[in-house]
């Protein structure tokens, strides 16, 4: 397979840095982006003109377009766009500062929207391309105390990507939503702020905040993840979603099983809302909460 031109957001550390390194090691040219591209100079020193660095603020649509244009100008095309830039802070939804919630959603959702939208015209002209959206297993199963803003944005990314896949199917553009579990990155370390947690939320949000930086949560290896993703993207067909980490697989399977069970229990009630179905029907037994 001929080399693929990559553009990776949030390349300075974590998944972004690991993925840039894996793509370069595979012989592919890369546009590595960060808010402060000078932190990427070591990549240029090591790989020369196979890597370009670019200052990118994903929350700025003009900046996103400039990064895509720079990739095409540098290498003649753009084959893989990876929307990796993102972060999370922990706070209860009730007490989280609203400006912090908005900033998280600006980066984690609108940043993905801006970069994906900017890449579409070039990929349509080529008749090919792959857009990789970094989500989280929490973007599938949800329900993590303290991560309301982050997981809301990741659910939105999944919805956006499903619609993009349907709209652009005739243009040869592929989409892969990546759903990692806990990994040894700065996401749950220095990049994460723990906001004030009221005492009444200590058993839920507080407990999660204490868990976040433990070895059990940080078991995933970003280097392996980067290498896996490069191999997956080079396939003729990619999955719509890819879980990363054994814990993510367990969580997703448990969630799917619970959803299927619940839908089965309520299926007669659900169907009775249609005018051609029997109505009314008995509700399932109201068992006490466990």
Q: Catalytic residue among 113, 150, 175, 201, which?
A: 150
Active site residue 150: yes
What are the strands of the beta sheet with 51-55, ordered from one edge? 51-55, 30-34, 6-8, 80-83, 129-134, 173-180, 241-244
11 is an active site residue = no
| Torsion angle, alpha carbons of 269, 274, 277, 283, to 10 | 10
Alpha helix positions (H), 76-200: 98-105, 111-126, 138-141, 148-167
* Ramachandran angles phi, psi of 139, nearest 5°: -75, -5
130 pairs with which residues across the strands?
80, 174
Rounded to whole angstroms, the Cα distance separating 222 from 25 reads: 15
Neighbours of 35 (CB within 10 A): 14
Q: Helix or strand or coil: residue 97?
A: coil
Q: Which of 11, 12, 116, 135 is catalytic?
A: 135
Of the residues 63, 116, 154, 251, only one is catalytic, namely: 154
- Where are any strands of DSSP class E within the chain? 6-8, 30-34, 51-55, 80-83, 129-134, 173-180, 241-244
255 is an active site residue: no
**Residues annotated as catalytic (active site), given as ranges:** 135, 150, 154
């Amino acid at each position: 397979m001929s080399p693929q031109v990559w553009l990776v957001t949030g390349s300075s550390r974590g998944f972004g840095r690991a993925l840039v390194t894996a793509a370069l090691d595979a012989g592919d040219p890369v546009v590595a982006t960060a808010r402060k591209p000078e932190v990427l100079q070591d990549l240029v020193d090591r790989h020369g003109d196979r890597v370009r660095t670019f200052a990118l603020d994903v929350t700025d649509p003009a900046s996103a377009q400039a990064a895509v244009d720079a990739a095409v100008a540098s290498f003649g095309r753009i084959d893989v766009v990876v929307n990796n830039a993102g972060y999370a802070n922990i706070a209860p939804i009730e007490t989280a500062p609203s400006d912090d919630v908005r900033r998280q959603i600006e980066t984690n959702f609108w940043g993905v929207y801006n970069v994906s939208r900017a890449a579409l015209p070039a990929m349509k002209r080529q008749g090919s391309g792959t857009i990789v959206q970094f989500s989280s297993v929490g973007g599938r199963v949800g329900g993590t105390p303290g991560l309301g803003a982050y997981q809301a944005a990741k659910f939105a990314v999944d919805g956006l990507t499903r619609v993009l896949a349907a709209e652009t199917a005739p243009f040869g553009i592929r989409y892969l939503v990546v759903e990692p579990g806990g990994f040894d990155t700065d996401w749950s370390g220095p990049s994460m702020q723990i906001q004030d947690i009221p005492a009444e939320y200590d058993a839920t949000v507080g407990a999660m905040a204490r868990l976040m930086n433990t070895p059990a949560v940080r078991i995933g290896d970003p280097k392996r993840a980067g290498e896996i993703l490069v191999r997956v993207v080079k396939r003729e067909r990619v999955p719509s979603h890819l879980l990363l980490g054994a814990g993510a697989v367990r969580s997703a399977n448990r969630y799917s099983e619970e959803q299927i069970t619940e839908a089965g229990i309520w299926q007669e009630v659900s169907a009775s809302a249609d005018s051609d179905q029997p109505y009314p029907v008995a509700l399932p037994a109201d068992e006490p909460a466990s």
